Structure 1
Amino acid sequence: MRSDRAWIGLILAWAVLQLAWRYAQGPWLELDEAEALYFARHFAWGYNAQPPLYFWLQAGVFALFGENIFALALLKNALLALAALLLYAMLRRWRPPFEAGLAVAGLGLLPQILWEAQRALTHSVLAITMALLIMALAERLLNPGGRVTLKSWIALGLAAGLGAISKWNVALLPVAILTAALLRAEWRARLDPRGLVLALGAALCVLAVPGWWIMRNFERAGASLHKLEIEEATLPSKLAAGLGSLGAAWIAFLGLVILLVLIVALTTRAPRRWQPDPASRLMIGTMLAGAGWLAVGLPLFGVTEVADRWLLPIALFAAPVAVLWTLDRMRARGGRWLAGGLAALWLLAIALLPVSGRIEPGYRAAGFAPLASWIEAAHPGAAVLTDSGWIAGNLILALPGRDIRLAEEAPGLEGPVLWLARDGAAQALAADFGRMAAPQGARALQRGRREEAIDVALSP
């Protein structure tokens, strides 16, 4: 249909625009981009606290287009476009093109997608895509109209395993979908025990080797566990802190969605009780089941600090559901109003993205060119070792071919080494490797509107 082609074309055009627009945001790399450039230069079963799938995909794109900003932006925007197309395809089974397309645009109600995914994120972008792939596959299995075979269950299991190694919190999504399916008779009747076993087996096959790497490198793989702020306190205290933080994270993540629902509910009269389409019912059931698992699991494990981005694989479905509910409640006039508002949100975001690269935090406007020129001129034969992935990635971009390493990846380094540290501890960094190092002073690095000092030391 012509309308379908128009929406698909709009999604692809937006991705191409964002790919070109990346260059307007600054010549250097954000934190996640720098990490991807550093690790995706080589294949490994694991790298750090992040799961490996994004780095594997990025390595493939590097092989085709080289290690540069274009390849970094291409992968991310291709994944965002694929995520939008997956959601559109799933909803088109039940909704006309305008409603399905507007529900996709409704993802702009989520700042983690409207802003952070386009500005800085990498692994979370892949998590968005995998979450929507898992949901699309599950929707075809659990709702009528889809052709169900054992291969379909294997595909779902593979997607679930790949989702987990895109971002660990995606592992909750298949559990939430299964929980929702078990609680509703029509979905429970479509669960095939053989299919479930095959799906589980496929997921475990995907997870086997990355899981083996985690067990052998638990210190590196668990480096970000401190963010959970796990406390050993009384159960009531943990429950109160964990549930409070979880509730705040939901509100922060869904702030614009909640605002939209409140405005529409207070300014319109419902013509009838809302009857969501089958895809919306599954998304709602999954969100409720996922919220239940989080509410029980996080406090019981002592987690007292929940970041809103951790909710992404579960909570992102709230936006398209809210848009579809609004369309059903407000009819044609409301659809035009909503379309205009969502278009304004997306246009505002793209207008502000170049500004974000040049003000706080200003990572893409950092002055790495003078630092790279000084390293090349003053220490041409020394390996460069740093405690900052942001510095390592940007120096690799500026000095292709130089031996530049992160501290965690440089055991047994010999010969002259130039040590760089953001926290003024270059000599201490050298001492961690049993090396003496002479201070070389600090090099000023302009970052957006502020100046950052990079401490430097040299081991002969």
Structure 2
Amino acid sequence: MPPWGWLLLYFAAHVLGRVLVSPALELDEAEQAVWTQHLQWGYGAQPPLYTWLQWAVFQLLGASVFTLSLLKNGLLALAYVCVWLAGRTLMPAGLAALAAATMLLLPQIGWEASRDLTHSVLLTTVSAATLAVVLALLRSPRPALYLLTGVVAGLGMLSKYSYAGFLGVLLAALLTGRDTRAVLLNRWTLAAVAVAATMVVPHGLWVLQHWGLAVESTAGKLTSAVPVGFFQGLWRGLTSLVLAVLAFAGPWALAMGLLFGRGALQAWSRWWRPQAAPAGSGLHLQALWQRYFVALGLLFLAMMVFGEVTRFKDRWMMPFLFLLPVAFFGCAPELAQHARLPRLRRVLATVAVLVLVLLTARVPYNAMRDKPDELNQPVRELAQALRARGYAGDGIILSNDRTLAGALRLQFPRAHIEVDDGDGNLPTQRPLLWVEPLTDALPTRPHDLVLPYLFSATGDVPARYRYALLP
């Protein structure tokens, strides 16, 4: 089977497994189920592109667990394709496909992106598309590629705000190289900027009107809750950054080192001591990675020194370090003939099967440990019980739990779902159904529903919900 066949089969299996495991939703899935009820220029602390795409898929195929999973896994598959396209400019096509496949060994991409991420998945995909287009532009500068660069940059800014960091680092790496600078210092670059700006301006105006919602909540995730001194904050930031990078890239780097040994060390050393550029090419792409990682380090340092950032998470590395396989194999194209490539293929196949099995089995496994998670909620049974108690499935559904609110949208497609923000104001439209999950030992009332979890053993504590129906 060709590589594309395996890619489609792998992500089709992910979609099937997600549909079969539960009709309930993870938090990010639930947010999309709620947000896609309306098209807006912004949603919460995130740019709108993912929600727009999810809205379009819902319009075509309906709102369901299947369509939620279809979009995310389609974007993940596209990320692998874009990394392969980027790699093809640096190495043989077969090695580029294998390099792209090693992203499975980056835990945040191979595991967490399939478990419960949305905007970060789109961000990684658009960042990979940006890299592929820019490398193609460096090889063959022409107007169409400049305009396409503007399009993907605009899509990136509408995907997640951290894309600006990735784009800035990439531009810095290009501008500081004599062989790449001339490609950017071109009149068509202004056209690319105009295209990107045109795409982003409407959302930018929305951000200005919702500054606290869009920016301040994001900024709060980067700093310590308790003020600390400069040097203590810098130490915390450096420690957090090192741990985040190790968590993101450590398993991948370990696998490359164990498999390729001295070949891996030579590839990594060329990031800092690039070989001479091939004669007549005009481009020194190994040196590009050196400049990229230096610029990335300076960005993180500036965030700690000037932005007082003290916390980094491994998933925040996705748009910056997804290109590790491209840089690694691009600096060592001789690995295409390495005797251990078949072993790498077996490792990747084993990891792919393990990820599929573990993702599918984690819900019943958590139930066996008496730790039911979000996907173990009996939302289909809850919907049936609410219908049996008189709810016709229209009007307003109000819940203080985001995951439950999103799941109920899929169960009651004619209803409008709202999340209770705790201000005490109820919608005026009727009928109004208010539902909340109960997690404490409150005494049972007539308007309580007690249902077994989707996966549970005899004697396990059941799920409990409280509701009120205003006709």
Give your verdict on TM over 0.5.
Answer: yes
- Quote the offset at 1:94 in angstroms: 3.2
Tell me, yes or no, if the aligned pair for 1:140 and 1:148 is still in contact at 8 Å. no
Choose from 448, 453, 461 the match for 1:446.
Answer: 453
1:189 aligns with 2:200: no
What amino acid is the match of 1:229? T
1:351 aligns with 2:379: no
What amino acid is the match of 1:75? L
Choose from 275, 281, 301 the match for 1:295.
Answer: 301
1:375 aligns with 2:386: yes
What amino acid is the match of 1:240? W
What amino acid is the match of 1:362? D
- Quote the offset at 1:391 in angstroms: 0.7
Q: Secondary structure at the match of 1:190?
A: helix
Distance 2:79 2:263 in 1: 32
1:6 aligns with 2:13: no
Deviates more, 1:279-288 or 1:358-367: 279-288
Choose from 43, 50, 65 the match for 1:54.
Answer: 50
Tell me, yes or no, if the aligned pair for 1:327 and 1:335 is still in contact at 8 Å. no
Tell me, yes or no, if the aligned pair for 1:109 and 1:257 is still in contact at 8 Å. yes
- Quote the offset at 1:321 in angstroms: 3.2
Query: 1:246-279 CA deviation, whole Å, 9 max, x = no partner?
Result: 1111111111123124435756697897568966
Q: Secondary structure at the match of 2:364?
A: coil
- Quote the offset at 1:320 in angstroms: 3.7
Which residue is 1:401 aligned to? 414
Which residue is 1:420 aligned to? 435
What amino acid is the match of 1:372? A
Are residues 106 and 65 of structure 1, via their aligned partners in 2, closer, same or farther at CA, if it must alter by over 3 Å?
Answer: same
Tell me, yes or no, if the aligned pair for 1:284 and 1:317 is still in contact at 8 Å. no
What amino acid is the match of 1:228? L
Are residues 148 and 162 of structure 1, via their aligned partners in 2, closer, same or farther at CA, if it must alter by over 3 Å?
Answer: same
Mapping of residues 168-183 of structure 1, within 5 Å: 168-183=161-176
- Quote the offset at 1:224 in angstroms: 4.3
Distance 1:199 1:350 in 2: 40
Deviates more, 1:167-176 or 1:88-97: 88-97
Deviates more, 1:31-40 or 1:53-62: 31-40
Distance 1:183 1:271 in 2: 24
Deviates more, 1:329-338 or 1:98-107: 329-338
Distance 1:417 1:24 in 2: 31
Deviates more, 1:320-329 or 1:255-264: 320-329
What amino acid is the match of 1:237? Q
- Listed as ranges, the gaps of 5+ residues in structure 2 are 278-283, 367-371
Are residues 451 and 253 of structure 1, via their aligned partners in 2, closer, same or farther at CA, if it must alter by over 3 Å?
Answer: farther
Same amino acid, percent of matched pairs: 29
- Quote the offset at 1:206 in angstroms: 1.8
Tell me, yes or no, if the aligned pair for 1:257 and 1:318 is still in contact at 8 Å. no
Q: TM-score, normalised by structure 1?
A: 0.85
Tell me, yes or no, if the aligned pair for 1:421 and 1:454 is still in contact at 8 Å. yes
Q: Secondary structure at the match of 1:27?
A: coil
Choose from 397, 414, 427 the match for 1:384.
Answer: 397
- Quote the offset at 1:97 in angstroms: 2.6
Tell me, yes or no, if the aligned pair for 2:450 and 2:462 is still in contact at 8 Å. no
Distance 1:168 1:206 in 2: 14
Distance 2:286 2:402 in 1: 41
- Quote the offset at 1:161 in angstroms: 2.0
The Cα RMSD (Å) is 3.2
Are residues 50 and 114 of structure 1, via their aligned partners in 2, closer, same or farther at CA, if it must alter by over 3 Å?
Answer: same
Are residues 158 and 283 of structure 1, via their aligned partners in 2, closer, same or farther at CA, if it must alter by over 3 Å?
Answer: farther
1:131 aligns with 2:144: no
Deviates more, 1:86-95 or 1:301-310: 86-95
Are residues 69 and 271 of structure 1, via their aligned partners in 2, closer, same or farther at CA, if it must alter by over 3 Å?
Answer: closer
What amino acid is the match of 2:54? Q
- Quote the offset at 1:102 in angstroms: 0.5
Are residues 194 and 343 of structure 1, via their aligned partners in 2, closer, same or farther at CA, if it must alter by over 3 Å?
Answer: same
Distance 1:399 1:269 in 2: 54
Tell me, yes or no, if the aligned pair for 1:109 and 1:319 is still in contact at 8 Å. no
Which residue is 2:82 aligned to? 86
Q: Secondary structure at the match of 2:453?
A: strand
Are residues 94 and 301 of structure 1, via their aligned partners in 2, closer, same or farther at CA, if it must alter by over 3 Å?
Answer: closer
Tell me, yes or no, if the aligned pair for 1:371 and 1:445 is still in contact at 8 Å. no
Tell me, yes or no, if the aligned pair for 2:91 and 2:329 is still in contact at 8 Å. no
Distance 2:22 2:124 in 1: 25
- Quote the offset at 1:441 in angstroms: 5.0
Distance 1:270 1:284 in 2: 15
Are residues 369 and 20 of structure 1, via their aligned partners in 2, closer, same or farther at CA, if it must alter by over 3 Å?
Answer: closer
- Quote the offset at 1:16 in angstroms: 2.8
Deviates more, 1:375-384 or 1:132-141: 375-384
Mapping of residues 157-172 of structure 1, within 5 Å: 157-172=150-165
What amino acid is the match of 1:365? N
Which residue is 2:322 aligned to? 316
Query: 1:352-375 CA deviation, whole Å, 9 max, x = no partner?
Result: 221123344632232112322233
Deviates more, 1:179-188 or 1:153-162: 153-162
Distance 1:452 1:267 in 2: 55
Deviates more, 1:15-24 or 1:96-105: 15-24
Are residues 325 and 25 of structure 1, via their aligned partners in 2, closer, same or farther at CA, if it must alter by over 3 Å?
Answer: farther
Which residue is 2:146 aligned to? 153
Q: TM-score, normalised by structure 2?
A: 0.83
Mapping of residues 224-303 of structure 1, within 5 Å: 224-230=218-224, 232-264=227-259, 282-283=288-289, 285-303=291-309
Deviates more, 1:77-86 or 1:190-199: 190-199
Tell me, yes or no, if the aligned pair for 1:33 and 1:120 is still in contact at 8 Å. yes
What amino acid is the match of 2:334? D
- Quote the offset at 1:64 in angstroms: 0.9
Query: 1:207-246 CA deviation, whole Å, 9 max, x = no partner?
Result: 2111211222233324444322356443222212222211
- Quote the offset at 1:171 in angstroms: 1.5
Tell me, yes or no, if the aligned pair for 1:22 and 1:73 is still in contact at 8 Å. yes
Choose from 110, 117, 121 the match for 2:113.
Answer: 117
Are residues 355 and 270 of structure 1, via their aligned partners in 2, closer, same or farther at CA, if it must alter by over 3 Å?
Answer: closer
Q: Secondary structure at the match of 2:184?
A: coil
- Quote the offset at 1:78 in angstroms: 1.7
Tell me, yes or no, if the aligned pair for 2:31 and 2:406 is still in contact at 8 Å. yes
Distance 2:464 2:305 in 1: 40
- Quote the offset at 1:20 in angstroms: 2.6
Deviates more, 1:242-251 or 1:350-359: 350-359
